[in-house]
Structure 1
Amino acid sequence: MTDFPGAPASIAQPYAARQVRPPLTARARRGAAIAGAVGFLLLGLGYAMASLAIGIALIVAFFALIVRAANGSDTRMGAGFEQFISRLDIAPWIAPLVAIAIVGIVLMVAAIVVSGRVLGAHRVRRPWAVTWAGAGVAIVASWIMSGILATFANLAMGGFRGDSPSWGAGFFGVLIVSAVIGLASNAVLGWLSWWWMAHAMRPVAVVDSVSQSVPIGPRA
């Protein structure tokens, strides 16, 4: 018997197709992992270099502004500060700071380009959207992780006395360990963030709602 009176029994009844999102392929997962780990490492390194150069330049400009303001008035600064300013030569710093900032910006651009191309080569849907969304998620997560790492670094440095001979070695030891952990956490955060966005933007497929068969036609 059929659900439609008068319809021949040999004719299949019409059923609405159901849309599902199949899981990412192994190739897409691998591409998201590579793009996220490498891309966010490059992005973080480039940002650190550019922000360091710009920060130092701002500090130097601040001191130069103080000197100019003091020279234009009758205000006298401390002898020690005047001696420090007189010995401060900013000319040798200009070229290295500009070079570091340019390299950092190039690394940030390269991170986005490399990520998009790697995702595209691994057949990830909307590779550029995945890249930008993954970067946004990873940046927010890295802020939280940086706060956690800074807390543990402060606790570690609290065990060293400022007048202790081992204070310098302890400081650089904590700094190196924090840098290594920061790089590793950036790679992991990038991998997870890119995978999440690739999973969220994976293509929709049409499935026969009766037979629950393999998808019969992907949709972008």
Structure 2
Amino acid sequence: MTVPNPAQGQPMQQAPAQPYVPPVAPTQTTTPRPPLSKADAHRARLAGGIGGGIAWLGLGISQAAILLLALPFIVSAVIFGIGFALSDGGPSATGGVWPQLTDWLGSAAGIAVIAAIPLGVVVWLVGLWISARILRRGGVHRPVGVTWAGFGIAAAANILLGSLGSITIGPAFGGLPFAGGPNLDFDPSDTYWGAQGWSGDPGDFDPGAIDPGLLERIADPGQLVALAGPWVALGSLVSLIVPIILSIFAWWWMAHALRAPARPEVDATA
């Protein structure tokens, strides 16, 4: 006789599910970034003064070349326009300004002025490269970022200071249309202009007394560049002082802002 098993026919009981406990990851304690070391600060200021100074010199070369190149075009256009007033409705009496301008552009002096524009851009890039090299050799964190950010900050500050200077100094010379300045008007009738065909009376103006050849000689590009070149070069050199000083501080500031973070301390907890 078979004895029935009481466990047969009854559902099996499952053990209660245990809650899932995720593994604990190692925690990182956040520590503030250490201050910029004196050596890195010195390297940053050195890179801003040398590399940034060379970069600004390159931009100064390009700017001076653009001014010297634009000067003959502007003067020639003005003289050419005056020639129409001297021709009594005919072609401009000073039409020779354009042939002499094209001749100058093909001369050695004209080619040198034109070539100075890309040369300045190359010098600018070389200055930024030297800055990055100085920072990298000194172990400064993110040397390329410090260089470009420092130059951008210095350029923005230079533009801002230039704008403030034009606002504060410009009115003293009548440089702003909405602000008054000293009265620089003069009355041509106070002097005798008979040698130029004008005695001061507008009805007494004789265009035929003005020599068109004299005006064309005034617009000679070679003479204009020779006369304006030293002054433009001197002004460009003087204008580099403020940007270089700004670059020294801007490079140091960006080296401080982009300095290396602190090494995290890892604590493994079970």
Short-chain TM bin:
0.5 to 0.7
| Residue aligning to 1:44 | 56
Unaligned runs of at least 5 residues, structure 1: 1-13, 68-73, 164-171, 209-220
Give the deviation of 1:151 after TM superposition.
5.2
Tell me which protein shows more helix as a share of its residues: 1
Unaligned runs of at least 5 residues, structure 2: 1-25, 81-88, 175-180, 187-229, 266-270
Residue 76 (1) aligns with residue 133 (2): no
AA in 2 matched with 1:107: V
Which of 153, 177, 190 aligns to 1:137? It is 153
RMSD: 4.1
CA distance in 1, matches of 2:138, 2:173: 43
| Residue aligning to 1:184 | 241
Superposition map of 1:25-44 within 5 A: 25-44=37-56
Give the deviation of 1:141 after TM superposition.
0.9
Give the deviation of 1:202 after TM superposition.
0.6
Is the 8 Å Cα contact of residues 20 and 206 (structure 1) preserved in structure 2?
no
Is the 8 Å Cα contact of residues 131 and 194 (structure 1) preserved in structure 2?
yes
CA distance in 2, matches of 1:42, 1:16: 44
Aligned-residue identity in percent = 28
| Residue aligning to 1:205 | 262
CA distance in 1, matches of 2:30, 2:264: 5
Which structure has the larger Rg?
2
Is the 8 Å Cα contact of residues 28 and 264 (structure 2) preserved in structure 1?
no
Give the deviation of 1:84 after TM superposition.
3.7
Q: Give SS of 2:31's match.
A: strand
| Residue aligning to 1:123 | 139
Is the 8 Å Cα contact of residues 18 and 207 (structure 1) preserved in structure 2?
yes
Is the 8 Å Cα contact of residues 30 and 264 (structure 2) preserved in structure 1?
yes
CA distance in 2, matches of 1:85, 1:152: 40
CA distance in 2, matches of 1:178, 1:150: 17
Residue by residue over 1:12-37, the C-alpha shift from the partner in whole angstroms, topping out at 9 and shown as x without a partner, is: xx985222111111110001101112
- TM-score by length of structure 2 reads 0.53
The structure-2 alpha-carbon separation of the partners of 1:45 and 1:143, relative to structure 1 and needing over 3 Å to count, comes to same
Q: Give SS of 1:20's match.
A: coil
